[in-house]
Chains A and B, each alone.
Chain A
Amino acid sequence: EVQLVESGGGLVQPGGSLRLSCAASGFSFSTYEMNWVRQAPGKGLEWISYISGSGKTIYYAASVKGRFTISRDNAKNSLYLYMNSLRAEDTAVYHCASSFASRDFENWGQGTLVTVSS
Chain B
Amino acid sequence: QSALTQPRSVSGSPEQSVTISCTGTSADVGNYNHVSWYQQHPGKAPRLIIYEVTQRPSGVPDRFSGSRSGNTASLTISGLQAEDEADYYCCSYAATYTWVFGGGTKLTVL
Taking beta carbons and an 8 Å cutoff, which residues of A are in contact with B?
35, 37, 44-47, 50, 57, 59, 61-62, 95, 97, 102-111
Contacts and interface: CB of A to CB of B under 8 A. Distances in A.
A105 B104 contact: no
A31 to B, nearest CB: 17
Nearest to B40: A45
Contacts of A50: 97-99
Which residue, of A37, A44, A57, A109, has the highest number of chain B Cβ atoms within 10 A? A44
Contact of B104 (A44, A103, A107, A110): A44
B101 interface: yes
A111 B97 contact: no
A104 B102 contact: no
B102 A44 contact: yes
14 contacts: A44-B3, A45-B101, A47-B101, A50-B97, A50-B98, A59-B96, A59-B97, A59-B98, A95-B46, A103-B36, A106-B48, A106-B51, A106-B57, A110-B45
B38 interface: yes
Interface residues of B, number: 27
Given A44-B3, A44-B104, A105 B36 contact: yes
Listed from nearest, the 8 A-B pairs whose CB atoms lie closest are A59-B97, A108-B45, A47-B99, A44-B104, A45-B101, A102-B52, A44-B103, A103-B51
Contacts of B104: 44-45
B68 interface: no
A62 B33 CA distance: 23
Contacts of B99: 35, 47, 50, 104-105
A61 B98 contact: yes
B4 to A, nearest CB: 10
B45 A105 contact: no
A103 B91 contact: no
Nearest to A106: B48
